[in-house]
Amino acid sequence: VSPGSCWAFKGHQGQVVIKLPARVHLTAITVQHITKDLSPSGTVISAPKDIAVFVSLLGTSVGADGEEESLLGTFTYNVEKEPMQIFPLKDVLRPRAFSYVKLLVKSNWGNPWYTCIYRVQVHGR
């Protein structure tokens, strides 16, 4: 995790869909950004702030069989805390396992031009 070595997207909103190598019973997600100390500008305003996590079997909003995405949680990445933050996900969908995870970034910490994500980890069985 070094400055500039991130997945950056234009603006303060964006999303990424991750195809998992197998169906997974999801339990948590980890999001990581650099610290203020590592940032060349001394700020981390490009860090994601409000995030939602969705899952699906087919990687689309509505699958061919009519299955929609399911929301597993919303949370706030706090730039004042540790750079690697783990967020537990709702377990209401167990025992279901999913093939795709969508990370939807709704806002960042104030950068109007871009948002950066340095690492996303998915936890589960």
Residue 42 inside a domain? The answer is yes
Q: What Rg, from alpha-carbon coordinates, does the chain have?
A: 15
Residue 23 inside a domain? The answer is yes
Residue 1 inside a domain? The answer is no
**pTM: predicted TM-score of the whole model, two decimal places:** 0.85
Residue 30 inside a domain? The answer is yes
Length of the chain, in residues = 125
125 residues of the chain, pLDDT tens digit each: 667 789 999 999 999 999 999 998 889 999 999 998 888 888 899 999 999 999 887 766 544 455 578 888 999 999 999 999 999 987 755 567 888 999 999 999 999 999 999 999 999 98
Residue 86 inside a domain? The answer is yes
Residue 83 inside a domain? The answer is yes
Domain, as residue range, for 89: 7-124
Closest CA to 30 of 68, 92, 94, 81: 81
Domain total of the chain: 1
Are the beta carbons of 20 and 100 closer than 8 angstroms?
A: yes
Residue 39: CATH number of its domain: 2.60.120.260
Residue 2 inside a domain? The answer is no
Closest CA to 71 of 86, 53, 57, 59: 53
Residue 87 inside a domain? The answer is yes
